[in-house]
Amino acid sequence: MRVVFGDGTLAQLPVEAERLEMTRILVLSTPEQRDQAGDILAHLGKRAIGSFDRATMHTPVEITEQALAVVRDKVVDGILSVGGGSTIGLGKAIALRTDLPQIAVPTTYAGSEMTPIIGETKDGEKLTQRTRKVLPETTVYDVSLTLSLPPAISATSGMNAIAHAVEALYAEERNPIISLMAEAAIRALADALPMIVAKPDDRDARHQALYGAWLCGIALGSVGMALHHKLCHVLGGSFNLPHAPTHTVVLPHAVAYNAKGAPDAMRRIASALGAEDAAQGLYDLAQRLGAPLSLAGIGMREADIEQAVAQAAARPYPNPRPIEAAALRRLLQNAYSGQRPAGEHA
């Protein structure tokens, strides 16, 4: 993948489109980012043939089918996704089915642009697969596009990114190089996010956060996922909970669950956070950012916990600690109520 990183890099989009021989580009966005899609269309000029602004979180298959109809009707030869994980996920879903080249222009810290992973929702279930077909050919990071990201969304988007790096540290396929990147990513975001919440137009902090998110995405895409991501896929796909807030709430509790099974990872997470305990450090960071701390607060019903436990235990991802239904139930109950996780040695 080619990466263009900096401030004002949108100006390079025509060059990148020409390099990929894109002449009929469809620009993807969510409804909320329609204006940013319009700016992209202006940069691309005659190379853009229109936009599709119905990208939705968790990449529902029915939305992908609507976008594919536009792709066929307009004889599209390239996709440009501007936005976060929802939009980039839609671009991946189109590429999976068509093999069209993609340019990703992230505006959040989701990191999806760096991973060969796609998660799609169908019939109330979110399923993921890993294939290099979905990797964008080019990613253009432009710090200026993140300046308008509200502090609350910046916080949860950044915590979502941290989750990628956290699980890379105890993934089954972990390796020393990715672990170095993951630890650096956590440190960059943990330092930058409080500054962004305090001063959203701080370009240096935004630069540092986008750099951290880039590293987080590479970490997730290079190794694997574990319990935290499985739980979030279940909660998002089956109960339609918002993606980044769900990651924010679940992460400290998933880390507490895995603490004794991955002691080296816990030390590295705590060090990157400047905390004594990994799980508590993550919880305290979310609290400091004013981010949601409970599943109840983002729309989950307590009655759904049992179904979530069953689904997460049915097809678990590799995890450093065995998946035990009773312990999983406690994890979700704690996340539901939003209580601070117990320390590693409690």
Return residue ranges of the chain for CATH 1.20.1090.10.
Answer: 151-337
198-204 contacts, C-beta under 8 A, 24 or more apart: 200/147, 200/149, 200/150, 200/151, 200/154, 201/147, 203/7, 203/143, 203/147
Task: Count CB-CB contacts under 10 A for residue 190.
Answer: 23
Question: Would you state the structure tokens that stand for residue 274, as one six-digit string?
Answer: 């400047």
Output the pLDDT for position 346.
47
Q: Please say whether the beta carbons of 94 and 59 come within 8 A.
A: no
Output the pLDDT for position 1.
87
Question: Would you state the structure tokens that stand for residue 56, as one six-digit string?
Answer: 């939705």
Q: How many residues does the chain have?
A: 346
Q: What CATH architecture does domain 2-146 belong to?
A: 3-Layer(aba) Sandwich (3.40)
Cα(107)–Cα(132) distance, integer angstroms: 22
Q: Please say whether the beta carbons of 105 and 11 come within 8 A.
A: no
Output the pLDDT for position 344.
62
Q: In the chain, count H helices and then E strands.
A: 13, 8
Using a cut of 0.95, tell me whether the model's pTM lies above it.
no
pLDDT digits (tens, 9 = 90+) for 41-99: 999 999 999 999 999 988 999 999 999 999 999 999 999 999 999 999 999 999 999 99
Return residue ranges of the chain for CATH 3.40.50.1970.
Answer: 2-146
Output the pLDDT for position 125.
84
Task: Count CB-CB contacts under 10 A for residue 62.
Answer: 9
From the candidate CATH numbers 3.50.50.60, 1.10.3720.10, 3.40.50.2300, 1.20.1090.10, the one assigned to the domain spanning 151-337: 1.20.1090.10
Query: Which residues in the chain come in under a pLDDT of 70?
Result: 344-346
